[in-house]
Amino acid sequence: MSEQVVPGRQPAARENWKARFFTIWTGQQLSSIGSRLGRFALVWWITATTGSATVLAMATLVALLPEVLLAPFVGAYVDRHNRRRIMILADGFVALASAVLAYLFWSGQMQVWHVYVIMLARSLGETLHWPAMQASTSLMVPERHLARVAGMNSTMMGVLSVVAPPLGALLLELLPLHGIMAIDVITALLAIVPLLFVGIPQPAPRPAASGGATSLWAGVREGLTYVRAWPGLFRIMLMAALLNFMLAPAGTLQPILVTKHFGGGALQLGWSNSAWGAGVILGGLVLSLWGGFRRRVITSLAGLVGLGLGAGMVGLASAHLFAVGLAGLFVMGFMNPIVNGPLMATVQAKVAPEMQGRVFTIMQALAGAMMPLSMAIAGPVADALGVQVWFLIGGLTCIAMGIGALFVPSIMNLEAHAGPAAAEAAAD
């Protein structure tokens, strides 16, 4: 099977793109279901075995390490090598890690340190897979449909956030832990099968500045230079990092919000999780059908203001207005794909195909690095002033960024900018 080398941006329309893309996409979504179930089973095992919040936090930190520390190098690797093969390798690596877990559970040899090692391995595979899939999407899907595909991805994320926990809990009643990990293995293999038969266009390699081969480290520097030389893209990335810093703690602090502020219990916590997930599902569906405004950046900024209003509703809801808090969480969930989908589509449409792996992983590293930093600050702030204060601060920050960006020409003209690569080509 041959794979087309694409020297530039893909054609506006590609024959049979839907059959080719959605064959791969369906396999990847099945793998995501298995991964969510496996992650749920691992978290439950840690909780039941140790009862330690420290162990849970450490497991989360271990899973973040590849995303934060290795992402730029992974991006350079993705841009230099065959993306379809990278996706097969990544899915296979995750399947192998899950198979090892299944054996450890089956044999009764499972220990806490095994979880750390396996979660590190799985995270490395996922860190390889995500930029390869995102960078391949722009070469398979016509540009006018990229925002809709991003909306579909958000919808599936919302569906999984609602369905996976109760489904995982049900499976824990019906199956042993090694049975759940076996499901993860099978779904990962189902993601590999379409990749064995469906070709993915491959971008032509970006020539090295010196005319010779580019080292991995040089590729990382080239990616950082590319982003820094594009002011609009660089500022959008800084905004995304700040957004993640302000709102990443929202999910983690939600149990404290429900119990200490609203005086609720497990049922109310379930409702709050469902409100967020239902909002994400509906927002993703709306984006996939609508596609957003003609200028994607306007869609994202409008969504950012809406996200801030939702967070503000949660922050201002008094203790006896739990319904207002639920409405705010629903609005936040709804606006999440409206903010992120068009931005993702813009990067896929405007960044040079041979640079997308690096650009996506730089975004990934910035977002991942914000999570431990924001939690270190948000925890003490919430303890001292109340958790709703953090939602209020985050909401005001989102509104300020969404309105303020309207007056930044480099952001507003992001889609009109052809990127550093095109500018250099024009100069030549």
Tens digits of residue pLDDT in 272-306: 878 888 898 899 899 988 888 888 899 999 999 99
Query: 35, 34, 247: which is closest to 123 by C-alpha?
Result: 35
The larger pLDDT score, comparing residue 176 to residue 368, is at: 176
Return the minimum-mean-pLDDT range out of 257-271, 274-288, 309-323, 414-428.
414-428
- Percentage with pLDDT > 70 across the chain: 89
CB atoms within 10 A of CB 370: 21
DSSP E strand boundaries for 212-364: none
Distance CA 343, CA 365 (A): 17
C-alpha distance from residue 334 to each of 237, 276, 398 (Å):
21, 8, 15
Tens digits of residue pLDDT in 84-108: 899 999 999 989 998 998 999 899 8
> Is the confidence at residue 269, as pLDDT, over 80?
no
> How far, rounded to the nearest angstrom, does the alpha carbon of residue 407 sit from its chain's CA centroid?
28
Give me the pLDDT at residue 19, please: 86
> Is the confidence at residue 199, as pLDDT, over 70?
yes
Residue keyed to tokens 């949660």: 314
Element (H, E) at 323: helix 322-350
Tens digits of residue pLDDT in 402-413: 999 999 998 998
> Is the confidence at residue 270, as pLDDT, over 60?
yes
The DSSP output letter for 66 is I
Q: Provide mean pLDDT across the span 414-425.
A: 57
Give me the pLDDT at residue 304, please: 95
Return the minimum-mean-pLDDT range out of 161-170, 386-395, 399-408.
161-170
* Domains defined along the chain, listed by start: 14-200 (1.20.1250.20), 223-418 (1.20.1250.20)
Give me the pLDDT at residue 328, please: 94
CA torsion sign for 215, 221, 227, 231 is negative
- Percentage with pLDDT > 90 across the chain: 19
CA within 13 Å, CB half, 252: 20
Q: Evaluate if pTM is beyond 0.85.
A: no
> Is the confidence at residue 210, as pLDDT, over 50?
no
Give me the pLDDT at residue 12, please: 40
Q: Provide mean pLDDT across the span 191-217.
A: 72
Q: Give the burial class of 6: count Cβ atoms within 10 A of its Cβ; 0-12 exposed, 13-18 middle, 19 or more buried.
A: middle
Residue keyed to tokens 């609508």: 290
